Chain A
């Protein structure tokens, strides 16, 4: 390490551009910030010695320099930006509701373009390895670029002295020479600086007035926030970090909460759908336009239970009620870090159906006997009071004819159909009855008895999602730190005003990291009531 000793006596680390104490340009390093080509000094990092600008020999140096470059960072962000936009051309696979597999979906819906899209892997762009690499590179760049700058900048701002080298002041953007300024002016200026809440330090008449230095740390604070956020996002690749499960619960039913490893059970007391009143004056016109019935509320009234015994297979759990609550869209129910969301529902699933058996020719259809079938858990045989027996020969919860054969679309009793075998007392050969909603068939055409539906019970089914996410606190902390940092850096700025006494009058120079307009206004106010003209802006854009 070749330390650089400045004429002011301060010893600077290798690679320093402007002396940390007095700001005098270190001659051999002026190319680093491009100061050799311009009249004004580049004050970006106060001319401090950054590792990335000092060493470039080993492979580590090269990697460090690559990732610490703002240019590289900007390119990485720009590429990520463009890549992200490509992913919105067609729907992503994960947001796609279509039952078609991806290789067919894109071609069938978007033709040639869709096929190319799929083959390039853009249907899962945000999960692709190269997108991950982009994000990871941004993360690495955030770390390296921040460390590269914050350490020397901190040093430099800590070592700065009120007494600055003449060249440093002359080559500031705001610089003025007040040759006719009086002692009185000098004191007025210092007073007014203090009034404007500048922190004033003096050294043999040399003045440094500073305000808002903490805003210089804003970028680094927000970068730390981003890194924490990205780490949180990275944690999601660890499967045990979060739970994502679904459960369907019928009204009246108690079910184990998926994802809680059998610890919690939930009972659906009631599922409610509310619609807006179509005659409500407020919304009448809009509801009409939308074709009537706009939903107002989806809600599950739930009771949560905790299992109190050891979980053993085949043993009915002992449950203890722990919580009661309403689950609505936007209002999940929470327990022990789990959040239970209202996700979907199924209205009017059949619960039970009650039938009666009567003689076919009986005009009054007087019941010989009645029986009730539980549609979720049907019995295979129903014995009526007077010796009649009905066998449930076949049951289709959601009936459909498939290739001419009766079958069931699902196991959920949404549109049930039955084949009953009726055994009158003493008879061995049954009569066959086929029943579905709205139809009652006698396949052989010689039945003596008939079965009719007398009653039915319906119920709703609620679809809930259970989530637990250990990464959320990390993401929250990251987000909060980012916001603090970005506000710190954007809503405050670091202003410095130097005053250097001369044999006649004094010199004034000013620098700020942003908002020059504000600094100029400060200077105007500070110099008010004195003979000193506000310093000139040596870098107005070409007008």
Chain B
């Protein structure tokens, strides 16, 4: 078997192991045993998680050998790596706090991230000169680890909110909480719809007026049924149905319309999934989960959330700002250039600095702090994904 095949099989294996581990962690909330440390399901859960992690490390190493450079060079590779670091961060936090139920929140997040990553082109790609340096490994892996540890605080924060927010009546808080849950559904929506069309082998091509002057037209391939077509685009594929509407002309970039289309699909499918879930549960999703968390101690969850930030912040600073600046000085001859990715790393850093300062006062412990943990994760994901896909800049390696 070829090395690259072994590599992707290991990744699949780790994915399913995390999935199974999640069920075991789910099983811990049913156990009557009050002592969490004694939980059998929890022990099996963490063991499977570790095996899954080892499998993913195997994926990483084999892919490294196959491509002869660390697999951290495109959106697929580093998003997958981020998922792996998230699992690592979880394992570490697990052994500090032995909080089984945390696995029920962090592992699904890692699963979503890995599944999301696999929607991007996964061929092994060569390194352009700008990336061809050991700083790629140093910088990307440290940032990823830092962000992953910070993301554990999101898992704990979400757990805290679902556990503590009063679900007896609909309030602003319950609505926001449902919104957070809906965004997770939208990610599932993206994965479902992309894999669905991919299995069906769907592809249509549009011809659009080119932006450069060298050629008059260029083409855009759609792998999802076009709801939104490119501005002034003409459908080239025979027998395919055309878009319902065209993208507004102010949207920049040839692929902007396609991205908008993907986003609309994800949101729609996510909405369908969410509404279906609500219909089955007959109550808010968070309200349905809450009773299952009866034995969870909020103060411990709050501590885990804070601790994750306390551990992750220095790592993120080192990777996302200091190593980033050193590399930028070497590669681009300036350590800081206000590139969108740089700015969003700074924003992430400032945000968690605010978080840590607010924690000095008792007023920001508990629920408020949990909301902040969620917002922080949103900023991280925005920088990880949206900045590459939406804002133009030097980090568009996807």
Contact = CB atoms under 8 A, between A and B. Distances in A.
Given A81-B350, A87-B343, A287 B357 contact: no
B196 interface: no
Interface string B74-113: 0000000000000000000000110000000000000000
A92 B130 CA distance: 22
Given A74-B354, A84-B343, A94-B338, A287 B333 contact: no
Contact of B129 (A42, A88, A95, A330): A330
A80 interface: yes
A276 interface: yes
Interface residues of B, number: 65
Contacts of A109: 252
A91 B135 CA distance: 26
Contacts of B347: 81, 84-85
Nearest to B304: A517
Contacts of B317: 482-483, 486
Interface in B291-345: 297-300, 302-303, 306-307, 310-311, 313-314, 317-318, 321-322, 325, 329-331, 333-335, 337-340, 343-344
B251 to A, nearest CB: 10
A541 B314 contact: no
Interface string B108-134: 000000000000010111111110110
Contact of B314 (A88, A330, A490): A490
A73 interface: yes
Interface stretch (A159-167, A278-286, A424-432, A436-444): A278-286
Contacts, number: 153
A339 B331 CA distance: 11
Range of interface residues on A (Cβ < 8 Å): 35 or more
A491 interface: yes
A95 B130 CA distance: 17
Interface in A91-113: 91-92, 94-95, 109-111, 113
B135 A330 contact: yes
A530 interface: no
The 9 closest A-B pairs by CB, nearest first: A286-B125, A329-B129, A330-B133, A286-B123, A541-B299, A81-B350, A285-B123, A88-B340, A341-B333
Interface of B: 66-68, 96-97, 121, 123-130, 132-133, 135, 250, 252, 297-300, 302-303, 306-307, 310-311, 313-314, 317-318, 321-322, 325, 329-331, 333-335, 337-340, 343-344, 346-347, 350-351, 353-354, 357-358, 360-362, 365-366, 387, 391-393
25 contacts: A70-B357, A74-B358, A78-B354, A87-B343, A88-B387, A91-B392, A94-B337, A95-B337, A110-B252, A126-B338, A282-B66, A286-B124, A287-B126, A294-B125, A297-B132, A329-B132, A330-B132, A467-B334, A479-B321, A479-B322, A516-B303, A517-B300, A540-B299, A541-B365, A543-B299
Interface of A: 42, 44, 70, 73-74, 77-78, 80-81, 84-85, 87-88, 91-92, 94-95, 109-111, 113, 126, 276, 280, 282-283, 285-287, 289-290, 294-298, 328-332, 339, 341, 343, 465, 467, 472, 475, 479, 482-483, 486-487, 490-491, 514-517, 537, 540-543
